[in-house]
Amino acid sequence: MADAKVLEGQKWLNATYAGVSGYVKCPENGQTSWSTMNSLIMGLQHELGISPVVASFGATTMSKLEALKGITDGENQPNKNIPYIVRYGLFCKGYWGEAGDTFNADALESMKKNMGIWQEGQEGWNRMVQAKVFKALLTMDAYVVVAGGTDKIRGIQQWLNGLYWEKSAYSIGPCDGLYSRDVQKSLVIALQYEMGIASPNGNFGPGTQAALKNHTLTEGATGIMVRLFTAACVFNEPVPVGEYAERTTFTSTFDAAITRYVKLFQKFSYLSDSGKGDYDTWCQLLVSMGNPDRKVFGSDTRYVINADRATWLKNHDYQIVGRYLYSPDPNFEKEIKPGELEVILDAGLRFFPIMQVHGRDATEYTYTTGFQHALIAHEKATTFGIPRGSVIYFAVDYDATQDQMDYIVRYFNGVVAGLADRGKKYVHGVYGSRNVCINVTNKTYARYSFVSGMSWGFSGNLGFPLPANWSLNQIKEISGIEIGGTGGKIDLDNTVWRLREDGGDPGVSSLAAVASPAADFISYIDQLYAIAQDYKAANSTHRSASQLVMEFVRHEDYGGMNWGILIGPYDQDWVAYAKSKGHKVKEDFVDPSSGYEMGPEHLLATANGHLLFAQPTNAKSVNAGDIAGWAGDLMTFYANWRNDEQQYASGKAYCDAKLAKPGVSSSFSFKDLLEDADGYLIARACAAGTPINQIVREHYGNGGGHHTRFTQYFNKRFFTATDCKDQAYNALTMENETYNVARTALILATGAQSPTVLANLPGGFDKLQSFCQGFVDAIIARVGAES
């Protein structure tokens, strides 16, 4: 949307400096962008006597500005154009105000307050533009919380600016509530000043590392180092702990709560969970490789692993090694050789397969190449005998920036489609920077992340936390290792390996064929169905054996009075009977498509609801069966959005960030959506007369319906995007006894605003519609990924 004041500035700049040597015109579109900021910088350089001008605020510009001792809005300002540049800089940043033929000093004060550098009782100073303030003014940095940002992080950003902005190595940073590369650098510079480093520069070099070894913090410590340590803790939050996410506080006292958080962070990062701010923890908080010299049990290498190399690895405590499925150049020692995997396994090691075909440039990452690479990976993995369900890590081996992420995601969409085209025998993981791993996981549901952590200077590693689904973290490259015997010399990457019980990839430990990753669940339902038939034959129950199976599996977590009111009670005699036969509720099983673990309880509670309440004939209607599935999840998710509104004014943005995203703590998780979709499909097939054990076998078996679950779910339950949106809206606002009860319990009882009330507020209807659109988009994105 064009802004008249920004447009005024753009026109003034182009009219004033059009003939200046080196000046590049900015677009006159009323939109703030780097082009406009660069034009402002070039205009300023011209006023300072620099020629030719360049689109960079460098040392010369800074020194000439410093010589002016500050810019004021007064009449005594010798150069009349410089205040105009300030004025339009303020306009571009959204600080308006009438200014006559200069800038508005109130607007400047307002910006300084937001920057965290405003000083009480220093009116003259506050209303003057210092050189560093000028430099910050001509950037795209925001000083108010932007979407996804938090007040907590903004508070730290303001604190850092306020304390260090006058230090020579420190530049005023953004206060947008987001942890970014610039914020990370600001933090390291602040640390370097506090530790007495001679020339602070923001780099995590040997001097900084050595100094950190002398700054271990423990419970009870206070002061500025604790401030900086807890700031780093906040930047790395949340720490995933099971389904929820642990957060911490920015404080100057290392108390018990900080100790608790640090222990969780250490455990998540695979450090010794001492609860202390020791060297390893400082490193892990500040850079992606953490302490590169710590003991690891994982590795990856381009070198073929022969018997001597495997023995060397085993003798040096390595337990898993990553190997490449393919090399475009067959003469280059990289690709797995026939028999190599057997050698690795015989030595008592595991392995994980990697797929990389160059890929050092964004343009190489297209849907088509992703599809082709997936076909190659499938063929190679099958040839090598790698079992079904194994995770293959597709590599993004360069520093992909945020604006290139669309290429990367399209490439992975191709990978997903390619693997699906071959029957989804293998599951995709991602290798890359933290940012690549996070984006690919969020948008294509990569099962695990293999983080290229040793490239700590990558823009994709600075300012991003360790992905929640990390399984491997590459922290150090060791060159020229002398193996001995037939091993020769090899290069090896040291990789932190997260064990399966902690949420990591178990890797491949055997080449024996696997029927289906969900074989255990298929067998479990078979057995339960058989006993349900026995029970039904011996007792006069109107329930089908399939329904009895659903009731047994849901009875613990979804069998309370609340579910009794919603869809009816379960048959307690049947549950007692099944238990007497030794049956238990199964906790989880692996989805063959995504590799993610699914919960049978929620899955079959959803199925039970849909089975008992036949789908409404009206395409826009919802019923109690939906509350047991997607509608109940949507209500809870809506309540979370309303309670998080300060961070996410837009409902669609909230859905885009949190709805069904792997690794994102949310009441409507990716797992929930998988279970909602499958629960619905199971119920539909049961209602048509197919026994549940047959449906489960067909759905989760090889080549089963799980490949196209979202497409089937959308087509059968939601029909069209419009109907889907209307159903979501109806679920949130429809006047109906059951829905009223559900909304009261899931929305109003949490203190969130009623959707009906929201819809009747000015602008509220559009907000609610935007939220519903976010839900539609989330499902359609899953459907799109299957095609």
Residues in contact with other proteins by CB under 8 A are 242-244, 246, 556-566, 602, 627-628, 632, 636, 665-667, 737, 740-742, 744-746, 749-750
What is the Cα–Cα distance from 598 to 603, expressed in whole angstroms?
8
d(CA 335, CA 330): 8
The values of phi and psi at residue 354, to 5°, are -120, 140
Nearer to other proteins, 632 or 663 (CB): 632
Q: How far apart are CA 721 and CA 638, in angstroms?
A: 19
Tokens of 170: 């420190």
Min CB(708)–other proteins separation in Å:
26
- Residue 303 or 630: the one with the smaller Cβ distance to other proteins is 630
CA distances from 522 to 506, 515, 696 (A): 22, 11, 6
Using alpha carbons, select from 343, 205, 218, 359 the residue that is nearest to residue 276: 218
Specify the residue, 304 or 745, whose C-beta has the smaller distance to other proteins: 745
DSSP assignment of 182-221: HHHHHHHHHHHHHTT-SS--S---HHHHHHHTT--B-TT-
3-state secondary structure of 317: coil
> Is 566:624 a contact under the CB 8 Å cutoff?
yes
- Min CB(609)–other proteins separation in Å: 10
Residue in the block written with tokens 């079959």: 604
Closest separation in Å from C-beta 267 to other proteins: 15
CB of 241 to other proteins, least distance (A): 8
Q: How far apart are CA 139 and CA 137, in angstroms?
A: 6
Q: Could you write out the DSSP letters of every residue in 603-658?
A: HHHHHHHHHHSPPPSSTT---HHHHTTHHHHHHHHHHHHHHTTTT---HHHHHHHH
CA distance 363 to 369: 10
Q: Is the distance from CB of 472 to CB of 495 less than 8 angstroms?
A: yes
Give 374 or 603: the residue with its C-beta nearer to other proteins: 603
Q: Quote the CA–CA distance of 730 and 24 in Å, as a whole number.
A: 53
Sequence-ordered strand ranges (E) for 307-364: 320-324, 350-355
What whole-number distance in Å separates Cα of residue 526 and Cα of residue 77? 86
- Nearer Cβ to other proteins (519/657): 657
**For residues 115 and 627, which CB has a smaller minimum distance to other proteins in the complex?**
627
Whether residue 351 contacts residue 323, with contact meaning beta carbons closer than 8 Å, is answered with: yes
In angstroms, what is the minimal distance from the CB of 9 to other proteins? 46
Phi-psi group of 665: left, alpha or beta (phi > 0 → left; psi -120 to 50 → alpha; rest → beta): beta
Instruction: Output the smallest distance, CB 782 to other proteins, in A.
Output: 20
DSSP-derived letter for residue 539 is S
Judged by beta carbon, residue 98 or residue 737, the one nearer other proteins is 737
CB of 615 to other proteins, least distance (A): 20
Please report the sign of the dihedral spanned by the C-alpha atoms of residue 361, residue 438, residue 263, residue 189: positive
Is the distance from CB of 351 to CB of 319 less than 8 angstroms? no
**Toward other proteins, which CB reaches closer, 467 or 559?**
559
- Structure tokens given for 133: 């303030």
Question: Least CB distance from residue 579 to other proteins, whole Å?
Answer: 11
Give the residue with the Cβ less far from other proteins, 327 or 736: 736
Q: Return the sign of the alpha-carbon dihedral for residues 608, 614, 619, 623.
A: negative
CA–CA distance, 389 with 373 (Å, rounded to integer): 18
Cβ proximity to other proteins: between 63 and 562 the closer is 562
Task: Quote the least distance from Cβ 626 to other proteins, whole Å.
Answer: 12
- Measured from the CB atom, is 475 or 747 closer to other proteins? 747
- Which residue lies nearer to other proteins by CB, 419 or 628? 628
Q: Which is nearer to other proteins, 562 or 787 (CB)?
A: 562
Phi then psi dihedrals of residue 202, to 5 deg: 85, -5
Q: How far is the CB of 390 from other proteins (least distance, A)?
A: 29
Looking at the Cβ atoms of 246 and 397, the one nearer to other proteins is 246
Task: Write 656-660 long-range contacts (CB < 8 A, 24+).
Answer: 656/774, 656/777, 656/778, 657/148, 659/774, 659/775, 659/778, 660/778, 660/782
For residues 305 and 631, which CB has a smaller minimum distance to other proteins in the complex? 631
C-beta closer to other proteins: residue 750 or 770: 750
For helices 405-421 and 434-444, angle between their N-to-C axes, nearest 10 degrees: 50
Nearest distance, CB of residue 278 and other proteins, angstroms: 26
Q: DSSP labels for 164-185?
A: HTTSTT--PPP-SS---HHHHH
**CB 605 to other proteins: min, Å:** 9
Closest contact distance (angstroms) between CB of 739 and other proteins is 10
Beta strands 350-355 and 320-324, pairing class? parallel
Distance in Å, CB of 757 to other proteins, minimum: 13
Min separation Cβ 505 and other proteins, Å: 23
Residue number with CB closer to other proteins (19 or 242): 242
CB 429 within 8 A of CB 447: yes
User: Minimal distance in Å, beta carbon 740 to other proteins?
Assistant: 5
Judged by beta carbon, residue 182 or residue 675, the one nearer other proteins is 675
Residue 722's CB: how many other CB atoms inside 10 A?
12
**Of 183, 256, 192, which Cα lies nearest the Cα of 225?**
192
Beta-strand ranges (E) seen in 13-62 are none
- Residue 520 CA, distance from chain mean position: 30
Mapped onto helix, strand or coil, the DSSP state of residue 238 is coil
In the 8-state DSSP scheme, what is residue 714?
I
The amino acid occupying position 732 is L
Distance of closest approach, residue 194 Cβ to other proteins, in angstroms? 32
Minimum distance from residue 520 beta carbon to other proteins (Å): 19
